[in-house]
Amino acid sequence: MTFILGTRGSALALTQSGMAADQIAAAGNFEVELRTVRTEGDVLTGPLSQMGGTGVFAATLRTRVLDGSVDFAVHSLKDLPTAPCPGLVVAGIPEREDPRDALIARDGLTLEKLPAGARIGTGSPRRAAQLRLIRPDIEIVDIRGNVGTRLARVAGFESYGNQSTPAGDCDAVVLAASGLRRLGFEETVTDYLDPTQMLPAAGQGALALEVRESDVEKATELAEAIRAVDHAPTRWAVTAERALLARLEAGCAAPVGTFARLEEQTLVLDAVVANPDGSESLRHQATTSDLSADGAKTLGEKLADELLSMGAARLANLTL
């Protein structure tokens, strides 16, 4: 028996999909074959933050699962829209990788040691706003592209790129630690940005394994194997983060950072909402001892409501 896993074709997507495929094949008694699917997010160019918001990477993969041309899909959870997709179920969320953002700077510099006026590359309004909160004296450069292309923007890291894109024109870039680690590029990191300084995107570092609802209802071999790799503490954490994002009606392009983790027997959720220029921000925390998907969702919604009552919508220009 062989099941087909639909994946994007980037190096990061192929690596993550390969890892998930191995886990699933080990949990079940079957083979998993990868099939590359070109998504709208891979084809279009221009700033990601202006590409029609959420779901540019996930939409095509979802169509392929729904129409049966592949059996399941692996998504980076942070790229997956918070609205559920009719006919599909995220049946497995494996244990999360490092959720932090990481700085890759020239000459081994840290965020604190970068000189005034340093150019930091990121295409993420969330990262840009939080970087400006910490270092109002730096310059943000809007960049996009795959991990290698972005690393190549840093002086001294040009060899990670492919020559046809700009290189070496920034003092630093910020990327997700998880992606760098999965690709074996961990040694490029010169400073890990702790969640106390910089809150990651909802779901950052976690993967979502999505399968047809009919497979879950029939408890097929594939659906059962996907369910077996689900990691409950990760699921609670990302459920809280995504419920917060959904309540704020903030997509991946909004300057919202959030991170949940289990401390003893308590789920602790932090969130920050900033204005795009990083001159103002609201940061808040909520906790629950109800360790369940429902408890996590309620926690996320409660923290979002508290942020809204503190003025989050006006601050971040959220369209509520």
Ligand X SMILES: NCc1[nH]cc(CCC(=O)O)c1CC(=O)O
Footprint of ligand X (CB under 6 A): 76, 78-79, 175-176, 178-179, 204-205
Task: Give 140 or 175: the residue with its C-beta nearer to ligand X.
Answer: 175
Q: What are phi and psi of 72, to 5 degrees?
A: -160, 170
User: Closest approach of Cβ 200 to ligand X, in Å?
Assistant: 8
The Cα–Cα gap between 72 and 141 comes to 36
Pairing of strands 191-193, 172-176: unpaired
Closest contact distance (angstroms) between CB of 265 and ligand X is: 26
Residue corresponding to tokens 């040009």 = 158
Cβ at position 30, least distance to ligand X in Å = 26
* Both structure tokens of 3: 């099941």
Distance CA 227, CA 225 (A): 5
DSSP 264-309: TTEEEEEEEEE-TTSS-EEEEEEEES--SHHHHHHHHHHHHHHHHH
Q: Residues near 187 by Cβ (< 8 Å), separated by ≥ 6?
A: none
**200 or 278: CB nearest ligand X:** 200
d(CA 193, CA 102): 6
The residue among 28 and 121 lying less far from ligand X, judged by its C-beta, is: 121
Nearer to ligand X, 119 or 224 (CB): 119
Residues 6+ apart with CB under 8 A from 45: none
Q: Considering beta carbons, is residue 253 or 307 the nearer one to ligand X?
A: 253
Tell me whether residue 107 is one of the annotated catalytic residues: no
Candidates 79, 101, 191, 215; catalytic one: 79
- How far apart are CB 79 and ligand X at their closest, in Å? 5
Active site residues: 79
